Amino acid sequence: MKKIIYISFLILSLAACKKKHFSPEGPTDVRVRNLSELTFSDVIVSTSEKKGDTLALGDINTGTESGFFRFKKAYPKAQISAKINIGGSLIEFSTGPVDYTYMQYIGQDKITFEVYISNPTNHVLTISNVIEEEPLALK
3-state secondary structure of 49: coil
Which pLDDT score, from 0 to 100, does residue 103 have? 92
Strands (E), 15-121: 28-34, 40-46, 54-60, 69-71, 79-86, 89-94, 109-119
Q: What is the reported pLDDT for 23?
A: 58
Residue 125 in contact with residue 93, Cβ under 8 Å?
yes
Quick check: is 13 in a domain? no
* CATH, residue 106: 2.60.40.2890
- Predicted TM-score (pTM) of the model is 0.80
Q: Does residue 105 fall inside a structural domain?
A: yes
Q: What is the pLDDT of residue 52?
A: 76
Number of domains in the chain: 1
Q: pLDDT tens, position by position, for the chain (139 residues)?
A: 667 776 766 676 666 655 444 458 889 999 999 999 999 999 999 998 887 789 999 999 999 999 999 999 999 999 999 999 998 999 999 999 999 999 999 999 999 999 999 999 999 999 999 999 988 887 6
What range does the domain containing 68 cover? 25-135
Predicted local confidence at residue 12, as pLDDT: 66
